[in-house]
Amino acid sequence: MHQVGLFWFHADLRVVDNAALVQASQEVDRLICVYCLPPVPRGKKSPNSLSGHRLQFLQESLTALDSSLSRLGQQLDVIYAPALETIAQLITRHDIGAIYGTSTADYYVNKVWKLLKKRYSMISFNQVGTSSLIGPAQLPFPLDELPDSFSKFRRKVEPIDISSPLVEPESLPRPPANTAASQWQQLFPAFKQNPSPLFSGGESNGIEHLQGYFARELASSYKTTRNGLDGMDYSTKFSPWLANGNLSARTVMKALKDYEHTVGRNDSTYWIYFELLWRDYFHYYALKYGSRLFSFSGIRQCKPSTSFYAERFQKWCQGNTPYPIVNACMNQLNSTGYLSNRGRQMAASCFVHELNLDWRYGAAYLEQQLIDYDVASNWGNWQYLAGVGSDPRGHRQFDLAKQTQLYDPDNIFIHKWAGDDCSAVLDSVDAADWPIVDSLTVDRL
Ligand SMILES: Cc1cc2nc3c(=O)[nH]c(=O)nc-3n(C[C@H](O)[C@H](O)[C@H](O)COP(=O)(O)OP(=O)(O)OC[C@H]3O[C@@H](n4cnc5c(N)ncnc54)[C@H](O)[C@@H]3O)c2cc1C
């Protein structure tokens, strides 16, 4: 009797450094590889509907994964339905004995794992941790004692050795007999194709980008350039491949260590590692706090004095606020699916402090747009900036005029991304819903 296994891909769209895939290759005789992409109801824009940029990167990542899997004797099936019901049906249809996947900080994905475990106690469930630099078993404290600030976390984990990435499995068990290759490509959600995207998804594109970044020796000046706003070279741009799991953090770390060995170590190379630790910190933060990652009062349990103003929210999304630097950031995000770290900080600070908006709507908008969307990094950073997260200062408002002076003194970024082509007023009605007439209009009356 053959044991049939199921591999549930999520944000680990790769075959290299995929410990769960290696384990599956050793334990089962037949394997089914699935990725679930629930459809958004027709005509609806739900908060989790994905932008064209995100869909394009995802499609490229899935296509690349499918061809890597077929090289190893497997095939990918992308199923356009929610994961819980999809996996439940597959369990029954194929008499699945073991389920595999990469551990994740995604609350909803973990909820599905929990429900499946509860429902199918006879199945072996294997979630293996290769999504962070420091694996769950390496943490020097229990998860519920995760330090409440990044600095404390960093000091505790820095002495830990980062394991080397695993090589891909030599081959994979075949799919069960009579499983036809899926035609998932034809049913992939329609989106407007971007003919010259900044990033192309897929494991080999990620590796190529990683090698190119280090070959050009950009890592040696990263710390001085990392706050840039525009271009490919001021920061690593590893995030889209990391977020979709085309690259593992350990693969990035291995390339960084090799670089330090051959070219040299300095503050900048250390700082790339430092930033990757931020990613790990938010990963464990999301795991520790569960659904509180999405709650208005955050982990601090203090309600910000913000609200929801539809007009302000729409203007922020469309890059039409009275703040040119923020508009330029939003236009860049909407056109490319990517925004610099400094741009994200300024846009989020403006959202919370100048526009007085409920931070969760801003986080949800970035979730739709960012090709490097990562649940823990996005919602964790938003909490931090909204003053309800792990920031020991608790209030972090960016002075937008000063930021413009520092990072775009000649308004080059603002002009390029049409940030000054905007509305001078924030609201068209006052608190009692009366139209606000500006002085220019009055002069013309
Ligand atoms: C409001 C807001 C939302 C964000 N949303 C996301 C998100 O959805 N996905 C995401 O990957 N990052 C997010 N970040 C973090 C950061 O902005 C991006 O990781 C970074 O801009 C990606 O570009 P890069 O790869 O060139 O980064 P680099 O500066 O080159 O950093 C190297 C890597 O370190 C990690 N990293 C860097 N800064 C952070 C940080 N502050 N938090 C967590 N990890 C970090 C990323 O994996 C990044 O690829 C967000 C930050 C803010 C302020």
Determine the distance separating the centroid of ligand 1 and the alpha carbon of 122, expressed in angstroms: 40
**Residue 2's pLDDT band (cuts 50, 70, 90):** low
Which is it for strands 4-9 and 30-36: parallel, antiparallel or unpaired? parallel
Closest among 309, 270, 209, 242 to 105, alpha carbons compared: 242
* CB 242 near ligand 1, within 6 Å: yes
* CB 104 near ligand 1, within 6 Å: no
Q: Which atom of ligand 1 is nearest to the CA of 275?
A: 34
The pLDDT of 246-272, averaged and rounded, is 98
Determine the distance separating the centroid of ligand 1 and the alpha carbon of 328, expressed in angstroms: 19
Q: pLDDT (tens digit, 9 = 90+) per residue, 16-45? A: 999 999 999 999 999 999 999 987 766 655
Mean pLDDT of the chain: 94
Q: pLDDT (tens digit, 9 = 90+) per residue, 392-442? A: 777 789 999 999 999 999 999 999 999 998 877 888 877 777 777 666 565
Whether pLDDT at 360 is above 90: yes
pLDDT at position 395, please?
76
* CB 238 near ligand 1, within 6 Å: yes
Determine the distance separating the centroid of ligand 1 and the alpha carbon of 278, expressed in angstroms: 8
Determine the distance separating the centroid of ligand 1 and the alpha carbon of 202, expressed in angstroms: 19
Distance CA 52, CA 321 (A): 24
Whether pLDDT at 380 is above 70: yes
pLDDT at position 43, please?
60
Contacts of 59 (CB under 8 A, 6+ apart): 185, 188, 201
Q: Which atom of ligand 1 is nearest to the CA of 372?
A: 9
Q: pLDDT (tens digit, 9 = 90+) per residue, 298-346? A: 998 888 988 889 999 999 999 999 999 999 999 999 999 999 999 999 9
Residue 349 dihedral angles phi and psi, to the nearest 5°: -60, -45
Determine the distance separating the centroid of ligand 1 and the alpha carbon of 341, expressed in angstroms: 6
* CB 232 near ligand 1, within 6 Å: no
Instruction: Quote the pTM value.
Output: 0.96
* CB 184 near ligand 1, within 6 Å: no
3-state secondary structure 95-161: CEEEEEEECCCCHHHHHHHHHHHHHCCCCEEEEECCCCCCCHHHCCCCHHHCCCCHHHHHHHHCCCC
Domain ranges across the chain? 1-130, 132-161+202-294, 310-439
* CB 329 near ligand 1, within 6 Å: no
**Pocket-testing residue among 131, 230, 279, 336, ligand 1, by greatest number of atoms within 8 A of Cβ:** 279
Q: Which atom of ligand 1 is nearest to the CA of 340?
A: 21
**Pocket-testing residue among 213, 330, 332, 341, ligand 1, by greatest number of atoms within 8 A of Cβ:** 341
* CB 292 near ligand 1, within 6 Å: no
Amino acid making up residue 78: V
Say what the alpha-carbon torsion angle 371, 374, 378, 381 is, to the nearest 10 degrees.
-120
Look at ligand 1, atom 23, and give the residue with the nearest C-alpha: 237
pLDDT at position 390, please?
84
CATH assignment, 132-161+202-294: 1.25.40.80
Chain centroid to CA 429: how far? 36
Determine the distance separating the centroid of ligand 1 and the alpha carbon of 67, expressed in angstroms: 29
Fold of 1-130: Rossmann fold (3.40.50)
pLDDT at position 39, please?
79
Q: Which atom of ligand 1 is nearest to the CA of 348?
A: 1
Distance CA 72, CA 63 (A): 15
Determine the distance separating the centroid of ligand 1 and the alpha carbon of 132, expressed in angstroms: 14
pLDDT at position 41, please?
62
* CB 237 near ligand 1, within 6 Å: yes
The SS3 assignment for 33 reads: strand
Distance CA 83, CA 80 (A): 9
For residue 114, count other CB atoms closer than 10 A to its CB: 11
The pLDDT of 370-390, averaged and rounded, is 96
* CB 366 near ligand 1, within 6 Å: yes
**Residue 443's pLDDT band (cuts 50, 70, 90):** low
Determine the distance separating the centroid of ligand 1 and the alpha carbon of 117, expressed in angstroms: 33
Distance CA 342, CA 373 (A): 16
pLDDT at position 283, please?
98
CATH number among 3.40.50.2000, 3.90.25.10, 1.10.579.10, 3.30.56.10, domain 310-439: 1.10.579.10
